Amino acid sequence: MSAPEATAITAQNLIRRFGHFTAVNDISFTVQRGEIFGFLGPNGSGKTTVIKMLTGLLPLSGGSATVQGIDVHADPETVRENIGYMSQNFSLYSDLTVEENLTFYGRIYGLTPERLRRRIDEIVQLNGLAPYYKRLAAQLSGGWKQRLALGCAMLHEPKLIFLDEPTAGIDPVARRQLWDLLFDLSAHGITFFVTTHYMDEAERCSHVAYIYFGKVIADGTPDDLRELPEVNPPGTYRVEIAAPHVTWALRIARTIPGLRSATIFGQSIHALIDDQLEINHLRQRLLDHGIVVTEIRPLAPSLEDVFVELTYRHQAKQSDQAAAPEAPSA
């Protein structure tokens, strides 16, 4: 059933229309086995639609997809037997205990009583749920709910797990712990398809794709994406400028010729600078305006920089296209 091929997911030219609206517009990507695949994009960009298509809930308007080597269109039932899924609100039954939630999902997947018992033991061990075993899911904190939900999604030992915004609204410690767990499981050959809004989480993925208005506009490892020529235009470099009163410093910095774009990052400014403008020169120009730079150093673009840059370019291209053939529509 699960063919020994290297890809966990192949999506080819996926299209999904709702009436006249195209939610997913010709998307292709491949997820290799054992990857942690980060699927990013703003709300309403089509992330959930893609997950629904890959899990066989939404028929494809065009294109094809295989999940674990199984054709999604031809055999959605088998696809669903071979994947785990955890939704953003940790879909648990809050009036059921940890044990009962696990038992319910185990039976949904048709586990035999012996296998169910063994799997529950393993998952409780792995996710550290033992102290809460008899507790109602409603009484668990966000982090524990999430571990239980993940446990429910992997009872039937799927080799591919979809996580839809798994860390939305939980505390940073639990977030870190979940990622540690994901790395652990990934090392055992489980593939993860993760959607997230957090850029630091995107950086942890071994492969990311960025979807914007139904189009994939970036696809690769985080390092590959950082080195894209679109993100690093020839004749420019990026710097991080640390200074007191960053907001004031930003206003000043933006008036300096040779500084292409700048944005605040915590207590410092990230800026894209023309090669002609040297670091010392920049420091002097800021000092002319009374800004004392405490530190200034070259910087590789962050994934956020990458996505922002690619989004701008995509938008510009879109409006060009819209303007060219006919009057732009609202």
Partner 1 sequence: MLNPFRGFGAVFYKETLHVRRDFATLFFSLIIPIMQMLLLGYGIDTNIRQINTVVYNADGRRESRELLDRLRNSDTFHIYRYVNNDHDLNDAIISGKCRVGIKIPVDYSDKLLHGMSAQVLVLIDGSDSSVAGQAINVSTAIGLDESLRRVLAGADSSSFAVDMRPKILFNPDSRSPNFFLPGLTAVLLLNVTTFLTAFSIVREKERGTLEQLFVTPVRPMGLLLGKLLPYLGIGFFELCMIVTAMRFLFSVPIHGSVLLLAFLSLPYLFVSLSLGILISSKATSQAHAMQLAFLTILPSIFFSGYIFPRETMPKFFYVISYFVPATYFINITRGIILRGATWVHLWSDALALFAMGSLLLIIAARRFHDKVITA
Our CB check for partner 1 shows the closer of 140 and 231 to be 140
Our CB check for partner 1 shows the closer of 63 and 220 to be 63
- Closest distance to partner 1 from the beta carbon of 49 (Å): 10
Our CB check for partner 1 shows the closer of 156 and 175 to be 156
**Nearest CA-CA partner of 54 in 36, 68, 40, 33:** 68
Element (H, E) at 88: none
β-strand pairing of 259-265 with 215-220: unpaired
Our CB check for partner 1 shows the closer of 168 and 256 to be 168
**63 burial type by CB count under 10 A (0-12 exposed, 13-18 middle, 19+ buried):** middle
Q: What are the C-alpha distances in Å from 252 to residues 89, 221, 245, 280?
A: 43, 35, 11, 16
Amino acid at 107: R
Our CB check for partner 1 shows the closer of 37 and 162 to be 162
Chain residues that interact with partner 1, rule: CB under 8 A? 52, 55, 57-59, 77, 80-81, 83, 85-89, 91-94, 105, 108-110, 162
- Closest distance to partner 1 from the beta carbon of 163 (Å): 12
Place of tokens 């979807």: 211
- Closest distance to partner 1 from the beta carbon of 148 (Å): 12
- Closest distance to partner 1 from the beta carbon of 84 (Å): 9
CB atoms within 10 A of CB 147: 24
- Closest distance to partner 1 from the beta carbon of 87 (Å): 5
Which tokens in the block code for residue 135? 């507790």
Give the list of residues 6+ apart from residue 124 with CB closer than 8 angstroms, or none. Answer: 102, 130, 133, 151
